[in-house]
């Protein structure tokens, strides 16, 4: 027999330590501990955690992934003891036991042994816990691995009695463990480990009877509310991380259909909204409900970058109206300062309730509007290549062809978009074309300023709005509203407000035409890819529609304000009014007569500043590239900037 490796020996000794130390606390059926017992158990868990860290530091990571320990039984026993601690009433013990499991997973991943057994075991424990507190009975999924049908038969026998006292706290604890393991895997970037993890989660989520769980997660108030909130918070965090990670995973097994698991999560969204927020957003004022709204919007936004079919897009628009309508209708007020981003916990106590509520409102408004625009534009751009099955459409949706569906989708998307814009910029206010265009620009400025402090969302939004150009170029006479008044023409109205060249001009003005800020965006790890794509596409549009770029006029402040970042030109003391309802939006040209602090910049002046900014950017990128200091090959960008320079010279 081949002697066990060092890592096998280390894992065996570690499992023996866990089993011997925890056995006295998990064999009995009691769920509460005395103060002395709790203190002793916490000390033991700390010692186990320290031993795992020591082993991680000394283990070689060169061995290939092998999912089996020579004796699976000993690891299964250790997992069962740790899972048993999650059923105890002590929150401290639950938390520390969960941390030990995460540390154990890191050690097993680094040693290359028994990873599959560990992850499958955690998912089975999750299902057992749900089964014990659910009114519906179901059997946990037990996937095959390692070529044997019975590899997990013995662990299942161990797990079930340990979890007979499981509560929602137990389920929340296992969910937190799975999320922390996923965070570790994101940093580890080991495809084999990630694939095993996703396979297990895939079987688990698909197997659970979510439609029968309203009695558990529906929220009836009382003593179980704290447990329900804790689980839902952890579960939302886990789903957000899971969906995000799916975007980066390559080469999953053929047996794992990524679309199936994502579709299941998409179908869970209405349930999650109901469980977290009540019927049609009844609970929206508490701190935890604001946090739930934030996480739900994050989840829906990440899912929106997957392929969503017609019915999902329609249902999500209705969900937005049911749960986030006040955010969609909230005026696009001026942002005060740079601290409107929600970066910290929503439970931060150093911020006043009023400031926190305002911060949440602005942040949630950005998210809700962004998701709304993604859904409407996805409907407008619905095409034959969206992967939907025509037979399903005929039987389930009443459309004979994909073409009929695309036509209806465009109508629905345009009408939703038009209705939303009309609430912020009522068309009955508009008298002549000049006044109308000024109000469109004012709205565009307010809209841009809402997002300018969150760079990652900003560029995703601007990229989405670039499809307006394609929309403007297409002719869809059937989508026009039944009116001869051109101001009520949906396509023209949307194109005037979200004109890509106008937004690009306003974006440069917001950055004070500082090419160094553009350079920072290009080399940023977080925004580099999205901003480079946005800039490349804008440069192409600008060169193809040169007269629009040179003739566009923007409002700007005269006062010279010092700023380290030089990114607050339009948001400092400008006098742009909120774009709400029937309030008159006063053009800045008129306000100059009263305040003297703003001027109307002509098209030539705006074009000159934009041109100098972009040409300076070209020079900086070229210099860095020549010195091999640019983080990636900017050849395509330089080619596009060169074309821009050539057009400037010719015109």
pLDDT, tens digit (0-9, with 9 covering 90-100), for 131-152: 888 766 667 766 555 544 445 5
Nearest by Cα to 621 from 608, 605, 640: 640
Which has more confidence, 618 or 27? 618
The DSSP secondary structure of 60-128, one letter per residue, reads: -S-SPPB---S-HHHHHHHHHHHHHHTTSS-HHHHHHHHHHHHHHHHHHHHHTBSHHHHHHHHHHHHHH
pLDDT digit string (tens) for 8-41?
577 888 888 999 899 888 877 777 888 999 999 9
Q: Which helix (H) or strand (E) holds 554?
A: strand 554-557
Distance from C-alpha of 430 to C-alpha of 223, rounded to nearest angstrom? 56
The mean pLDDT of 207-233, rounded to a whole number, is 79
- Do 474 and 356 touch, CB atoms closer than 8 A? no
Distance from C-alpha of 548 to C-alpha of 364, rounded to nearest angstrom? 34
- pLDDT value, residue 472: 53
- Long-range contacts of residues 471-476, Cβ cutoff 8 Å, at least 24 apart: 471/380, 471/495, 472/499, 476/410
- pLDDT value, residue 552: 83
pLDDT at residue 625 greater than cutoff 80: yes
pLDDT digit string (tens) for 406-427?
677 778 888 898 889 888 887 6
For 25-59, give one letter per residue: b (16+ CB within 10 A) or e: bbeeeeeebeeebbeebbebbeebbebbeebbeeb
Contacts of 173 (CB under 8 A, 6+ apart): 86, 94, 95, 97, 98
pLDDT category of residue 486 using cuts at 50, 70 and 90? very low
* Number of other CB atoms surrounding residue 583 within 10 Å: 12
pLDDT category of residue 282 using cuts at 50, 70 and 90? low
pLDDT at residue 392 greater than cutoff 60: no
Whether the predicted model's global pTM rises above the 0.85 cut: no
pLDDT category of residue 397 using cuts at 50, 70 and 90? very low
The mean pLDDT of 442-459, rounded to a whole number, is 87
The mean pLDDT of 532-544, rounded to a whole number, is 94
pLDDT at residue 560 greater than cutoff 50: no
- pLDDT value, residue 152: 56
Nearest by Cα to 118 from 202, 59, 177: 177
- Do 408 and 399 touch, CB atoms closer than 8 A? yes
């Amino acid at each position: 027999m081949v002697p066990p490796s060092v890592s096998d020996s280390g894992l065996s000794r570690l499992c023996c330590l866990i089993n011997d130390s925890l056995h006295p606390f998990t064999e009995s059926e009691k769920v509460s501990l005395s103060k002395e017992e709790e203190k002793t158990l916490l000390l033991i868990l700390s010692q186990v955690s320290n031993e795992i860290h020591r082993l991680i530091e000394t283990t070689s990571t060169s061995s290939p992934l092998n999912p089996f320990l020579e004796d699976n039984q000993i690891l299964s026993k250790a997992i069962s003891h740790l899972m048993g601690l999650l059923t105890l009433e002590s929150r401290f013990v639950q938390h520390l036991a969960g941390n030990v499991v995460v540390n154990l997973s890191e050690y097993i991943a680094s040693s290359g042994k028994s990873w599959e057994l560990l992850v499958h075991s955690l998912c089975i424990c999750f299902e057992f816990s749900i089964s014990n507190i659910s009114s519906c009975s179901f059997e946990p999924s037990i996937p095959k691995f390692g070529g044997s049908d019975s590899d997990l038969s013995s662990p299942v026998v161990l797990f079930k009695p340990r979890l007979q006292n499981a509560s929602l706290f137990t389920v929340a604890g296992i969910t937190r463990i799975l999320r922390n393991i996923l965070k570790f895997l994101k940093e580890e970037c080991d495809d084999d480990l990630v694939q095993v993890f996703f396979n297990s989660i895939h079987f688990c989520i698909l197997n659970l009877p979510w439609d029968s769980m309203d009695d558990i997660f529906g929220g009836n108030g009382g003593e179980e509310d704290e447990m329900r909130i804790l689980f839902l918070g952890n579960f939302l965090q886990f789903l957000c991380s899971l969906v995000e990670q799916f975007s980066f995973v390559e080469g999953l097994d053929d047996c794992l259909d990524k679309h199936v698991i994502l579709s299941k999560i998409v179908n869970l969204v209405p349930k999650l909204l109901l469980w977290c927020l009540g019927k049609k957003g009844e609970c929206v004022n508490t701190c935890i409900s604001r946090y739930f709204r934030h996480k739900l919007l994050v989840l829906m936004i990440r899912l929106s970058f997957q392929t969503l079919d017609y019915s999902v897009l329609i249902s999500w628009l209705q969900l937005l109206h049911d749960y986030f309508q006040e955010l969609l209708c909230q005026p696009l007020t001026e942002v005060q300062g740079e601290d409107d981003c929600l970066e910290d916990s929503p439970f931060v106590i150093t911020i006043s309730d009023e400031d926190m509520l305002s911060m949440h409102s602005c942040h949630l408004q950005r998210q809700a509007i962004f998701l709304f625009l993604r859904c409407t534009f996805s409907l407008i751009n619905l095409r034959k290549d969206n992967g939907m099955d025509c037979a399903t459409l005929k039987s389930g949706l009443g459309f004979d062809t994909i073409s009929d569906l695309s036509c209806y989708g465009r109508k629905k998307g345009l009408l939703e978009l038009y209705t939303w814009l009309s609430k912020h910029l009522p068309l009955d206010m508009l008298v002549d074309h000049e006044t109308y265009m000024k109000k469109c620009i004012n709205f565009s400025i307010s809209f841009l300023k809402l997002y300018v402090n969150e760079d990652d969302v900003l560029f995703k939004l601007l990229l989405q709005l670039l499809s307006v150009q394609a929309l403007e170029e297409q002719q869809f006479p059937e989508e026009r509203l039944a009116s001869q008044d051109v101001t009520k023409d949906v396509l023209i109205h949307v194109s005037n407000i979200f004109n890509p060249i106008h937004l690009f001009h306003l974006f440069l003005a917001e950055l004070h035409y500082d090419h160094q800020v553009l350079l920072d965006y290009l080399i940023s790890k977080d925004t580099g890819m999205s901003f480079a794509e946005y800039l490349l596409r804008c440069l192409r549009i600008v060169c193809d529609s040169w007269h629009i770029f040179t003739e566009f006029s923007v409002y700007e402040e005269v006062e010279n304000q010092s700023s380290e970042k030089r990114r607050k030109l339009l948001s400092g003391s400008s006098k742009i009014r909120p774009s709400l309802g029937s309030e008159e939006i006063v053009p800045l040209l008129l306000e100059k007569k009263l305040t003297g602090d703003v001027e109307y910049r002509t098209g030539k002046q705006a074009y000159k500043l934009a041109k100098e900014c972009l040409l300076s950017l070209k020079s900086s990128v070229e210099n860095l590239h020549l010195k091999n200091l640019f983080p990636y090959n900017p050849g395509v960008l330089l080619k596009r900037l060169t074309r821009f320079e050539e057009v400037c010279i010719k015109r």
